[in-house]
Chains A and B, each alone.
Chain A
């Protein structure tokens, strides 16, 4: 929003007009969530994870294409991709990428893309919402309220990081909500601020402006610890918001950063946050909708182009930090789509699908297994049968990448569940 539209009757203080007089936060403010500006926070290195959610159910078969399968061409008379256009994967005589995924294909050739095929869970749920919950909570058999990355935050030490996980956008996905810890939602670097005046200097000190006094009073207003769960959620989010806004405003000039317009912009913003001194370890972006029940070919090609552009930006931006090896991008989607196309040049809800892990830290190549497309190999709803359980992928991410926790604790499985991490990371 432009200030001229917002402040029609009263002059609002703007960042440029602020006196840079730093003040010490009063005692009543030094609650944990408001400790964002603690000068003790160091530039935090360590590994970073960016999750890219393909919302709506991405068509796995037209993403990693089994271009030699006669079943594939038989089931998809109008939607099957021409073998000539598919980007063949080096070392494979069966699989190639959708023509939109040029950057991903290049990176695959350089060993920086791991593709895990056939990822899903048993007794698949064809509802977007149930299946999305299962992917985010990593709990295929019973509904739980916390996300698996949120639970990883719960069990790993905070180490003075004011923000540990950030979703780009104005929604916080369940994925980043733990039992006690949780991530924050940040829609854009320049929109994430107080419209009545920024109270933080670029160095992170607070400036005692009119807006500052109001923000401090707002913190008092939400300083209660109510027992009511909804009230507790509100005041806790409010305290976190003030702290996070001040942290982000201190990190970069919010009036100069542009709002993300594309998925690639969102990825760039995510990398800015991940590489900042806020200590953010996990970021989340999403693209969609991939729910292509009709007119799939052009719509899917367009979305995958957006994904490919985002991957290119990810590699570029992470390399520019000088610590490219610290970054991993992982995709996920609530399900793949039915092998057999429907009557409207689209596909209905499916099950298992491939996912991508991208970055210098992966073991490049194909992992897992492509489920068979023959009629006898499909499930009762004519869908693919998963080869890899989703927790086998997440366990690898926890143990081989994020570390500091036992995957069994975070993903809540035991030996009898037969979960075997997939070795797609170095």
Chain B
């Protein structure tokens, strides 16, 4: 891959490569212009820039409710009227493609997979959107508080049967997944612990408006022995014990660090990297931002030798960002192309396959999903505005293969592999029937479907 071969060049070229890759991995890409601007300031400064966001729902530019301070695909987050899942998908992809805080959005996407909750069972899109706000507000904040908040989240309570988990009528679903998937990973608890956790988590109800209430009379307040510790444990005690008093030590920090590294970095992250992330996570009282900073500044991450297939949402939002396929003034049909493509590639937002989220890694690539990626490339190339195409065509003055360069600038691709260059040359040589604008779209299709743009 071109990404990996150019790393030995001069320091500034190396920084440029590293900053470009950082934008593809920790954001939704960037133009080559933006990459150059930040490369001049340095890699570390770029990391701090990406990490610099406050709490979304208290930010002035978020008070419009759509995260854009605009009227794009407005959605009522109060839950009064229920939006469709498709409208929520359009809204979120649009937000990913236009936000000024891409790492916040990328982390929100990560947490959506971590605390995976799906519309196919929850049925209320407004509850899922509220959960989405919860995930965004906690995206880089405190994991301990996030766990306690997710326990009391309406969508989660419906998804993992928390509302059916009552004193003397236990339901193990949330108690098990809280440990297996959200905090500890397998083999760190027994079936007995699952039952005791279920007892501690009992007592919640969700009313018809999605408001969560706690009922003392439905809660099992008896003595429990959880992970070897006896007490009248309630929900927050379970979080405390799991995170801070597990008999095996800080295994939760390591579990979460590993999952996050698998998402941002590579499916099989280096143990030393995971240890460093876990140490900073735990050492900073489960501060997520501290752990993410550690990840982004580690040499294993900066000079990563392995590539990862971009998730569909990353790919779609990244293309939309570079090509102007999202933002204000677009109608829902335009944005629908993005949302549908994302689903066909195997990532229907707000509808993960199950509570373990998307498997990711190489499972993003099979015949159906890569075909969907090609089809998205062709559609996206088709959606680019005519005036943008015209500018690209005018710039290259009759040399169609040269249109690759302006497209690469928009997509944040610094170089191409020999096979992709060869493909573009073959296409423009072979294709004689269409005009320069159609050729420019064809070249863009190839770039969007290329390994360079689909891996990071």
Contacts of A381 in B (CB 8 A): 191
A302 proximal to B (CB < 8 A): no
Which one, A5, A12, A170, A223, contacts B368 given CB within 8 A?
A170
Segment among A113-121, A237-245, A317-325, A411-419 that sits at the interface with chain B: A237-245
B420 nearest CB neighbor, chain A only: A221
Bitwise interface map of A from 170 to 196 toward B, beta carbon under 8 Å scored 1, else 0: 111000000000001111000110111
Chain A interface: which size bin? 35 or more
* A293 lies within 8 A of B171 (CB): yes
Complex-state Cα separation, A196 to B379, whole angstroms: 8
Complex-state Cα separation, A220 to B430, whole angstroms: 13
* B378 lies within 8 A of A171 (CB): no
Contacts of A127 in B (CB 8 A): 176, 180, 186
Contacts of B430 in A (CB 8 A): 213, 216-217
**A1-44, CB < 8 A from B:** 1, 5-10, 12
The DSSP consensus for interface residues of chain B is: helix
B417 nearest CB neighbor, chain A only: A224
B7 proximal to A (CB < 8 A): no
* A293 lies within 8 A of B164 (CB): yes
B375 nearest CB neighbor, chain A only: A195
B276 proximal to A (CB < 8 A): no
B370 proximal to A (CB < 8 A): yes
A375 proximal to B (CB < 8 A): no
Contacts of B450 in A (CB 8 A): 221-222
* A348 lies within 8 A of B337 (CB): no
A312 proximal to B (CB < 8 A): no
* B367 lies within 8 A of A184 (CB): yes
Complex-state Cα separation, A192 to B366, whole angstroms: 12
Segment among B8-16, B241-249, B353-361 that sits at the interface with chain A: B353-361
Contacts of A195 in B (CB 8 A): 375, 378-379
* A218 lies within 8 A of B374 (CB): yes
Bitwise interface map of A from 221 to 263 toward B, beta carbon under 8 Å scored 1, else 0: 1111010111101111110110011000000000000000000
Given contacts A220-B419, A224-B451, A237-B369, contact A210 B171 (CB under 8 A): no
Most chain A C-beta atoms within 10 Å of own C-beta, residue among B366, B423, B424: B366
**B1-24, CB < 8 A from A:** 1, 4
* A217 lies within 8 A of B378 (CB): no
Segment among B56-64, B86-94, B280-288, B439-447 that sits at the interface with chain A: B439-447
**B416-431, CB < 8 A from A:** 417-420, 422-424, 426-427, 430-431
- 4 closest residue pairs by CB, A with B: A343-B169, A344-B164, A217-B427, A221-B423
Q: B residues near A, CB below 8 A? A: 1, 4, 121, 160-161, 164-166, 168-173, 176, 180, 186, 191, 194, 306-309, 333-334, 336-337, 340, 344-346, 353-356, 361-363, 365-375, 378-379, 382-383, 386, 417-420, 422-424, 426-427, 430-431, 433-434, 438, 441-442, 445-446, 449-451, 454-455
19 contacts between A and B (CB under 8 A): A126-B191, A170-B366, A171-B363, A195-B375, A196-B382, A214-B442, A218-B445, A220-B426, A221-B446, A230-B308, A230-B362, A231-B451, A231-B455, A234-B365, A234-B370, A234-B454, A236-B365, A294-B161, A343-B171
